[in-house]
Amino acid sequence: MHLVVLDGYTMNPGDLSWEPLHQLADCQIYARTPEHLVLSRGRSADLIITNKVPFYRETLKQLPLLKYIGVSATGYNIIDTAAASELGIAVTNVPAYSTMSVAQMVFAHILNLTTHVAQHAESVRRGKWVACQDFSFADFPLIELDGLVLGIIGLGRIGRSVAQSAHTFGMQVIFYEPQKKEDRPAWTSQVDVETLFATSDIITLHCPLTDATHHIVNRERLALMKKDAFLINTGRGPLIDEQALADALNRGMIAGAGLDVLSHEPPRADNPLLRSKNCYITPHNAWATRAARQRLLNIVVDNIKAFLDGKPKNIVQ
């Protein structure tokens, strides 16, 4: 069996071991694979691991040896699963490997927006505290989380983890789901989406990207938000109408945003959020703690083992 990893760098930039993969098959690992090299690198592969390299029908038809595609991520929209099924190619993904890491990034953004640790530390480095007449100062309002309302759109694994952390901070937790959630924690309240936008002090997005959730944050819903409210997105970039959010931030309609995802990644230079007021953007790395990446690699290996043993798991089609 010949195994090809097409874009392994983000999963393993060098601090993890590829040895478990080498033990499974003859293995060729590429850090990145541009589009024009996908066929030449994949043509001899029985097994392919991809993170962001897409496989649509025309590409799959030109890979006659291919029996398996392992997506080293939870989302698998880069794969034409219908075509893969017709061609007898199994496709697997890696669910639930980064839940705690993403929840941690949510609160990193929340705490950045409410306490401004880095900015205050930088002001001290510039000598402002040394020159201060008082023992204490604040360049930005310091906001306590206790008692604030956190609105969660999507109460799946990550949404629940965020909810639990918010509850520990003493926040009130409300959430929106299109279907009634009978198994919600007792200290949460399910509300409609308009109520969530109008009453939340902080809104965080954890729903899948679908036709129904595309631009769930739009101009009309941003207008419902409190002027001192914050928006967090560690889900998918297209959940937000980015121009509408940029306008809301620049006009002071909401107080700030913390984003780990954008509609195009890497972002285009003209993305309006790159220059928006009180908008803090991290480079889609909420998932990428070493612990999460190790879990990801472990599950990728387990998925391949299961497939080779004739007992596939985490099949997505």
Sheet (strand 2-5) strand order = 26-29, 2-5, 47-50, 68-71, 90-92
Residues 6+ positions from 284 with CB-CB distance below 8 Å: 260, 261, 262, 265
Which one of 160, 284, 293, 295 is the catalytic residue? 284
Residue 41 annotated among the catalytic residues of the structure: no
Instruction: Name the residue with tokens 């649509």.
Output: 56
Which one of 206, 221, 236, 293 is the catalytic residue? 236
**Encoding tokens for residue 215?**
């631009």
- Whether the link from the prior residue into 266 is cis, omega within 30° of 0, is yes
Residue 265 annotated among the catalytic residues of the structure: yes
Give the count of beta carbons closer than 10 Å to the beta carbon of residue 24.
15
Which one of 86, 122, 144, 265 is the catalytic residue? 265
Give the count of beta carbons closer than 10 Å to the beta carbon of residue 266.
9
**Encoding tokens for residue 280?**
């803090």
Residue 144 annotated among the catalytic residues of the structure: no
3-state secondary structure string across 85-125: HHCCCEEECCCCCCHHHHHHHHHHHHHHHHHCHHHHHHHHH
- Angstrom distances, CA of residue 163 to CA of 86, 177, 192, 222, 286: 41, 14, 17, 22, 17
Active site residues: 236, 265, 284
